[in-house]
Structure 1
Amino acid sequence: MLIVNNFEEYEAHLGKELGISQWHTITQEQINKFADATLDYQWIHTDTERAKTDSPFNTTIAHGYLTLSLIPYLWKQIADIRNIKMEINYGIESFKFGQAVKVNSEIQLKAKLLAISNLRGITKVVIQAILDIKGEAKPAYIGNVVFLYHFN
């Protein structure tokens, strides 16, 4: 796991891969709970019987936004940013979904530091996020996430 204590330590990783998370299995229970939280009950996500026959995937798939919402959880497995008063999820940029994540697939996040700047004492970083699916050549998505850190 990468440990970062301040701006200078973070900046030393500019242009480098920061790490890879552990594998996480997307279950039907997680998909259903996400559907409950977002009120998105499209059958391709929640109707396991219909998905077997009517879906091109022959099974249910995770919501794209469910996979995006896992970035903070998976990011914490890659980097431990210390000595901060606050961390803010500031934005997401240029995300493209490459392929669906089928139920019971294992996913893993790869992160690379694309940019870092000091905004009057606030550290802004742009992290390239690639979500891989175990056994698949094409990622579920690729895009950039932006975090703001208020170091002590």
Structure 2
Amino acid sequence: MTQHPRLSLGLEPGSVMGVSDWTTLTQEDFNIFGKVTRDEDPMHTDPDWCAAHGPFPTTISFGFFTLSLLTGFSHQASPWPEGAYAINYGFDRIRFLAPVPVNSRVRGRFVFLGAEPREDGSFLTRTEVTVEIEGVEKPALVAEWLGLVFPPEAQRRLDTR
């Protein structure tokens, strides 16, 4: 993938796009995520169970909860061209590398890997995303995130029926 002149991010492949602010992941966050996703696994939602029986001495973040933070982190960290709109296209790779204990602070680091023009005027972008845990060398996750960026001239109403 190469940088395309119409998708001017001012970045070369391999450039850091940005780093989000630190955010603290609380037990309430884990409990709400578990309830919404209908997965109230005690490893994530029950501190007493973890202390007595869990593989970790305290609750840890759901991997998918950590992953779900990427969009919010990207809004803080990643520049996009004026008037462009980006949508999630998926991932080529996601690896959950380290558990995130309750009350940890995490942030997202975004590295631009490239953009490829598509026939409809949009661009397929690739971004390496790392979720860092404050004070921990190993990241919580590393992923290659794919996005579709629609510059103003490529935006149109799509029939979703």
TM-score, normalised on structure 1? 0.90
Aligned to 1:142: 142
Aligned 8 A contact 1:11 1:116 in 2: no
In 2, Cα distance between equivalents of 1:106 and 1:95: 20
- Alpha-carbon shift at residue 52 of structure 1 (Å): 1.5
In 1, Cα distance between equivalents of 2:133 and 2:13: 26
Aligned 8 A contact 1:129 1:144 in 2: yes
Greater strand share, structure number? 1
In 1, Cα distance between equivalents of 2:39 and 2:6: 40
Aligned to 1:33: 32
Written as runs of structure 1 = structure 2, the 5 A alignment for 1:19-58 is: 19-58=18-57
- Alpha-carbon shift at residue 11 of structure 1 (Å): 6.3
Please list the CA deviations of residues 113-139 of structure 1 after superposition, one character each: whole Å capped at 9, or x if unmatched.
Answer: 112111021011100000100010100
Letter of the 2:143 counterpart: G
Distance 1:7 1:37, change over 3 A: farther
Aligned 8 A contact 2:30 2:62 in 1: yes
Aligned length: 146
- Alpha-carbon shift at residue 54 of structure 1 (Å): 1.7
Please list the CA deviations of residues 34-70 of structure 1 after superposition, one character each: whole Å capped at 9, or x if unmatched.
Answer: 0011001111001111112222321101100000000
Letter of the 2:111 counterpart: K
Return 5+ residue gaps in structure 1 as ranges. 1-5
In 1, Cα distance between equivalents of 2:137 and 2:98: 10
Aligned to 2:123: 123
Cα RMSD after superposing both structures: 1.4
- Please state whether the residue corresponding to 1:7 is helix, strand or coil: coil
- 1:109 has 2:143 as partner: no
Which range moves more in the overlay, 9-18 or 24-33? 9-18
Aligned to 2:155: none
- Please state whether the residue corresponding to 1:95 is helix, strand or coil: strand
- 1:94 has 2:93 as partner: yes
In 1, Cα distance between equivalents of 2:109 and 2:30: 22
Structure 1 or 2, whichever has the larger Rg, is: 2
